[in-house]
């Protein structure tokens, strides 16, 4: 009977050791997954920050371009108005064709 009790004790000890090893392996795998997850989240956070900086830069550039386009449109509008005034003067006979042509060149070359 002592032989059987000793075999049972050995079997239980072996089972406990196996369970402890399995728990340790699961704990290590869980730790590895946790480290990977944290690393991935940090990487994503860095990418988000980098993307936000790029978007801010692009937004500033687009805003600057929009202002430039507005100033060009305003200048073109002013040129058109000034040409219209000189054309009206030409039509009224207040200025000659040569004077109108000279003013037109001056206005368009600004």
pLDDT digits over 65-90, tens only? 887 888 888 888 899 999 999 999 99
- Model's pTM, two decimal places? 0.48
Chain centroid, CA 43 distance in Å: 15
pLDDT tens sequence across 19-53: 999 999 999 999 999 999 999 999 999 999 999 99
| Residues 55, 65 contacting (CB under 8 angstroms) | no
Given its phi and psi angles, is residue 71 left (phi above 0), alpha (psi -120 to 50 degrees) or beta? alpha
Q: Is 95 exposed, middle or buried (0-12, 13-18, 19+ CB in 10 A)?
A: middle
């Amino acid at each position: 009977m002592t032989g059987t009790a000793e075999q049972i004790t050995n079997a239980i000890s072996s089972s406990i050791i196996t369970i402890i090893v399995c728990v340790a392996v699961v704990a290590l795998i869980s730790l590895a997954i946790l480290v990977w997850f944290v690393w991935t989240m940090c990487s994503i956070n860095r990418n988000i920050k980098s993307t936000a900086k790029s978007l801010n830069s692009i937004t500033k550039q687009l805003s600057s371009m929009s202002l430039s386009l507005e100033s060009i449109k305003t200048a073109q509008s002013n040129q058109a108005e000034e040409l219209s005034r000189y054309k009206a003067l030409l039509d009224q006979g207040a200025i000659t064709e040569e004077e109108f042509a000279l003013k037109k060149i001056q206005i368009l070359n600004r």
